[in-house]
Amino acid sequence: MNRLNHILNDSQFRGIFFQLLMCAGLLLSGYWLFENTLTNLANQGKSLGFDFLTTTSGFQIIPTLGTWVFDYEVGKST
């Protein structure tokens, strides 16, 4: 019992223990957030990525200098 008291009252041990506890909590929170995000996106039929860059917009873009420079075509350009 005396040895356990000595370990629990050691400031270096407590510092390391609580830092490890905090790191584990942050890692678990990050994992939960990531998994929850992916699950909710999958339930809505959406994905996490850059696939939207290769699909058409679904609406007409107002003609600007950029649409003339890059040969924009309605319904074809991404």
Each residue's pLDDT tens digit, 15-44: 999 999 999 999 999 999 999 999 999 999
Global pTM exceeds 0.75:
no
Whole-angstrom Cα distance, residue 28 to residue 40? 18
Q: Residue 68 above 70 pLDDT?
A: no
Whole-angstrom Cα distance, residue 11 to residue 16? 9
- Tokens read off for 21: 């506890």
pLDDT bucket at 46, cuts 50 / 70 / 90: confident
State which amino acid sits at residue 33: L
